[in-house]
Amino acid sequence: MPDIVLELPPHIVPAVFTRALLDWLPWLEPLAADGLTERHMAALVDAARVKSPYFRLLARDPDARSANTDRQGHLL
């Protein structure tokens, strides 16, 4: 699958350091929830993460995702 850089929707970019909560926007297309394989699901650890574009993006590389997750499912 070729990586396609997404067009970012209009968003506010801070001009200076901020402690405010920022939006997370993917630069690459996250996997579609209905297209995840058993291997992708195993890398997600928790099935609830399917709803998160962030975790579906990480699932694009299940080996790296698994290597960066401890036994309790926390990112390292």
How many whole angstroms separate alpha carbon 74 and alpha carbon 76? 6
Q: What is the dihedral of CA 18, 20, 24, 27, to 10 degrees?
A: -20
Specify the pTM.
0.65
Q: 35-60 pLDDT, tens per residue?
A: 899 988 888 888 888 998 888 888 88
Q: Return the residue matching tokens 């970019």.
A: 13
The confidence band for 1, taking pLDDT boundaries of 50, 70 and 90, is low
Q: Give the mean pLDDT of 4-10.
A: 77
Which of the two residues, 67 and 71, has the higher pLDDT score?
67
Asked if 4 and 30 count as a contact pair (C-beta separation under 8 A), the reply is no
Residue spans of alpha helices (H) in 19-72: 38-44, 53-58, 62-67
